[in-house]
Amino acid sequence: MTENIKMAELLLPDIKNTPDYYENMYPERNLPEGARVVRVAPSPTGYLHLGTLFAALVNRITATSTGGVFFTRIEDTDKKREVEGGIEDIIDGLNRFGITIDEGFTVGSTQSGEYGPYKQSMRAEIYQTYVKKLIIDGLAYPCFCTAEELEQVRAEQEKNKIRTGYHGEYAKHRNITFEQAKALIDAGKPYVIRLKSPGNEQNRIVFEDGIKGKIEMPENDEDFVLLKSDGIPTYHFAHAIDDHLMHTTHVIRGDEWISSVPKHIQLFRLLGFKPPKFAHVAPIMKLDNGAKRKISKRKDPEAAVRFFAEQGYESENVIEYLMTIASSDFEDWRRANPTVSYKDFKFNLKKMSVSGALYDENKLLDVSKNRIALLKSYEVYEKLTAWAKEFDEPFFKLLTANPEYTKSILAIDRDNAPKPRKDLAKWNEAKEFYAYFYDETFVPCYCLPEHIDKADAAAFLSEYIKIYDEKDDRQEWFAKIKQIAPTLNFAAETKEYKANPDNYKGHAGDLSTVLRIAITGRTNTPDLCSIMQVLGKEECIKRIENTIKNLEV
């Protein structure tokens, strides 16, 4: 037995397979030319993060638009950071946003697919098999340095202004012999397994990033850790093995990984794998006191995707908004194709922002308003009540006590309107928005605009109540207001008023404002005639009479 084989047997005696075993187990995928195999690989360390959702969306549409595969893989090599239920939160969260998953963890904690297991903690033996091969090839070795020793080296490097890290002469165990390793192991010393990097810092590696274009970096010469002392791999090593065996064609991930690409490409080459294409997605940014910064888990509530659900953003509207961030030409496409699914958009990674798009809440509200304006009242009813059921139980009860009544409210300026009103952007606005339709939430207000006299308003309402007919259509409804106007010295037509403002107290529009305030307590609402029809005669008369009483005191 050569020295390397002895070392490999010493360190990984239980590993009996060779890489060929896995290479045969996970053959090439049978996909059409050009199909991209992509994935998200979240760590179950908490809730679904906006950045993960964004990366998942970009991967999903890449797979969809090329007829490829989108899978998930759970990167749970850091057990200390794992939270209970973390996997389900992420996977179910993606599903809720309509990000369907072809393979891997598809729903909750169930896995499916031919290339699994899709959870790194279940793949220890696979990683160890490849590490064993690297040891035999003289490309990996055990390192017994303690955390304190490594810290000392780092301090010395910093003091002498030398690049920090386990490289060159600082790689203490790089040439450790079998005998030395055996003695330390026999003495019970813990160890990690490191790569014996053949790289040279003076050499450059060049690669074409799918988003950022050509990138050049120094070759990796650091003997970084492959397997930690518990036999679990580091991210770098697990990434190379998994994306090779799962036949990922494009690694589309957060750009915090870009500086690690030299390590990754080196690993792929040393293991004899063809490297995938890399595309690094810039994070979503936020303006904070005029400066751009990454959205932060600590500072920004919207970092957790749950925030959008709580606020009552429709998940498809959030996706729609993220698409505008993902691709600079999405909005033009959307204008030309207002009603089709975003999934039909021909996505191209090259159209992504290189430096990070800004999260813009107003834009999200705007996109959401436009999308909600396309819905029919029954759809709004379903979505709104589903939201309220989860997040606002009293409001849910209010909305569903009389579903037909609520639907007729939601139909105003919507179902038959040539241009539906764009108002609601998220469901948590609805309670306040529709408050005046429900006795429980209606707050009367008797405050008039400054230029309208209380006595005139009361006189108008008293006249109006006499001729009000709940069956009037919009024209008839307004004609009645105009009819009363001159009797109170208000102009029936706005243009008459504008021509001679001194001759009038106001115009018919002002009187309709009086009526609006009486009925809704507000000066700005959707079509008042429709509102009155929905509220019904009895309620309208009650509100008008109450207002008259309040104006007269």
By CB under 6 A, name the binding residues for ligand GLU.
Answer: 41-43, 75, 239, 251, 253-254, 257
Give the nearer residue to ligand GLU in terms of CB position, either 52 or 311. 52
C-beta separation of 38 from 101 below 8 A = no
The phi-psi region of residue 340 (left if phi > 0; otherwise alpha if psi is between -120 and 50; otherwise beta) is beta
CB of 43 to ligand GLU, least distance (A): 5
* Residue located via tokens 């008042």: 528
C-beta separation of 538 from 522 below 8 A = no
Element (H, E) at 286: strand 285-288
Q: Report CA torsion sign: 529, 535, 537, 543.
A: negative
Give the nearer residue to ligand GLU in terms of CB position, either 2 or 296. 296
Give the nearer residue to ligand GLU in terms of CB position, either 75 or 221. 75
Pairing of strands 204-209, 213-218: antiparallel
What is the spatial distance between Cα 223 and Cα 245, in angstroms, rounded to a whole number? 23
Give the nearer residue to ligand GLU in terms of CB position, either 90 or 364. 90
Phi, psi angles (nearest 5°) of residue 252: -110, 110
C-beta separation of 312 from 428 below 8 A = yes
Give the nearer residue to ligand GLU in terms of CB position, either 8 or 48. 48
Give the nearer residue to ligand GLU in terms of CB position, either 145 or 261. 261
Tokens of residue 400, six digits:
């569903």
Half-sphere exposure of 301 (CA within 13 A, CB side): 7
CB of 332 to ligand GLU, least distance (A): 30
The CA-to-CA distance between both ends of the chain, in Å, stands at 107
C-beta separation of 113 from 163 below 8 A = no
Give every CB contact of residue 419 below 8 A, 6+ residues apart in sequence: none
Give the nearer residue to ligand GLU in terms of CB position, either 81 or 549. 81
Element (H, E) at 105: strand 104-107
Give the nearer residue to ligand GLU in terms of CB position, either 244 or 431. 244
* Residue located via tokens 């910093």: 158
CB of 85 to ligand GLU, least distance (A): 17
Q: Which residue lies nearest ligand GLU, judged by its C-beta?
A: 253
Tokens of residue 547, six digits:
């207002």
Give every CB contact of residue 266 below 8 A, 6+ residues apart in sequence: 195, 197, 199, 205, 219, 220
Pairing of strands 291-294, 490-491: unpaired
Pairing of strands 192-195, 140-143: antiparallel
Could you give the C-alpha distances from 96 to 41, 283, 305, 318, in angstroms and in order? 18, 22, 11, 11
Give the nearer residue to ligand GLU in terms of CB position, either 264 or 414. 264
What is the spatial distance between Cα 32 and Cα 429, in angstroms, rounded to a whole number? 47
* Residue located via tokens 């606002």: 392
CB of 273 to ligand GLU, least distance (A): 15
Give the nearer residue to ligand GLU in terms of CB position, either 174 or 297. 297
Query: Which residues, in sequence order, are bridge partners of residue 141?
Result: 194
What torsion do the CA atoms of 101, 53, 124, 274 make, to the nearest 10 degrees?
80
Q: Which of 217, 232, 237 is nearest to 77 (CA)?
A: 232
C-beta separation of 284 from 257 below 8 A = no
Give the nearer residue to ligand GLU in terms of CB position, either 78 or 92. 78
Give the nearer residue to ligand GLU in terms of CB position, either 36 or 253. 253
Give the nearer residue to ligand GLU in terms of CB position, either 242 or 392. 242
